[in-house]
C-alpha cells in the first residue's frame, strides 16, 4: 500500500477531512449541540492518534484511537441523540 512516509494514505486523508470538518462544526456551535460537537472532536482525536501511532507510542495511541476516538465518541453521539430527543419531546409536548 502506498503511504506518505510512515503514514498510510487513507489515515492522512481521513485526518485532513476530519480537521477541515472542524471548521463548520465549531463555527455552528450552539449550546444545544454541544454533545454532537464533543463527539466530533473525539473523532478528530481518534484520527490524530491513528496517524501519530505510526511514529510514537503505538500501543497507547492505538488505545486512544479505538477507546476514545471510536468508543467514547460513539457513547457521546448516543447521549447527544438521546438528549436532543428528550428536548424535542419537552418542547413539542
C-alpha R_g of the chain: 16
Contact 4, 12 (CB under 8 A): yes
Question: Could you tell me the pLDDT band of residue 4, with boundaries at 50, 70 and 90?
Answer: confident
Instruction: Find, among 55, 74, 71, 75, the residue nearest to 63 by Cα.
Output: 71
What's the structural domain count of the chain?
1
Please give the sequence-ordered ranges of beta strands (E in DSSP) within the chain, or none if there are none. Answer: 3-4, 7-8
Contact 73, 50 (CB under 8 A): no
For the segment 7-35, the average pLDDT, to the nearest whole number, is 93
Looking at the predicted structure, is the pLDDT value of residue 31 above 60? yes
Which domain, by its residues, includes 16? 3-92
Chain segment 41-84, per-residue pLDDT in tens: 999 999 999 999 989 998 999 999 999 999 999 999 999 999 99
Cα separation, 8 vs 69, in Å, equals: 18
Amino acid at each position: 500500500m502506498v503511504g506518505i512516509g510512515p503514514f498510510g494514505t487513507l489515515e492522512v486523508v481521513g485526518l485532513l477531512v476530519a480537521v477541515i470538518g472542524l471548521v463548520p462544526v465549531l463555527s455552528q456551535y450552539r449550546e444545544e449541540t454541544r454533545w454532537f460537537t464533543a463527539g466530533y472532536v473525539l473523532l478528530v482525536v481518534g484520527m490524530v492518534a491513528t496517524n501519530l501511532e505510526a511514529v510514537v507510542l503505538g500501543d497507547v495511541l492505538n488505545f486512544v484511537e479505538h477507546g476514545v476516538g471510536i468508543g467514547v465518541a460513539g457513547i457521546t453521539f448516543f447521549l447527544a441523540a438521546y438528549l436532543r430527543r428528550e428536548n424535542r419531546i419537552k418542547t413539542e409536548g
